[in-house]
Amino acid sequence: RICFPPAGGASTDFFPVSRTRSPGIEVLAIQYPGRQDRRTEPLIDDLHVLADVLAPVVRPWCDGPPVYLYGHSMGATLAFEVGVRLTQEGAAPRALVVSGRRAPSTFRDERVHLLSDDDFIRDLDRLSGTDPRLFQDPQVVEMILPALRNDYRAAETYRYRPGPRLDCPVVALIGDEDAQVTVEEARVWSEHTTGRFDLGVYRGGHFFINDHAADVMRVIREVAAGRTPALPGQAIALRG
């Protein structure tokens, strides 16, 4: 499976995923430009451009065992865009699993990336996805804020470009207290595939996956095994 990190994230975010993988499943985590071992490379603040860059990197892996894409938050949108490009090249992923993100064609006028540093950090703290102690160190803030703000800009300025749908199953997972996505917005993911769609609603906020990591990994393993996952608050739409 190929994993796409959320805004401000890095490939190391998925070390816990790799430790819980099933035998025979290889976990490949995408490293975006401008962070960790790629910190000297320019940041990319356009998800369409970033998908254009990443799709050729992912493409060779599609010639081997089945490829499954997973992304959280901004990473979900990016995984979708990469999946669209792979599908157009005849190398469609076997399935797409997304979490913490509304469907690409839904729109919100969000401008968090334009906030002052203090207000921006307060908004990050609201989502509870970053250890608040990190923002107490000015040097750490100086190091991580550019990538975070860049990714927020990329996510908030993203606009869906109508085109062919995916032809693989899509599974969407959200938290019932996540202000970033409603159940209605998540259901719209069903319109982006001709395959089966499943929706799971967990207790929690935007980073509900931190509290339900074991179950989320179970869902991903079941999808990778070609089974229909058992999901909380499940809503299913069948497409053909």
> Which residues are known catalytic residues?
73
8 A C-beta contact, residue 220 and residue 97: yes
Helix (H) or strand (E) holding 4: strand 2-4
8 A C-beta contact, residue 181 and residue 211: no
d(CA 38, CA 35): 5
- Nearest partner of 188 among 115, 105, 113, judged by Cα: 105
Burial of 225 (0-12, 13-18, 19+ CB in 10 A): exposed
CA–CA–CA angle 99, 105, 106 (5° rounding) = 75
- Count of CB atoms within 10 A of residue 104's CB? 22
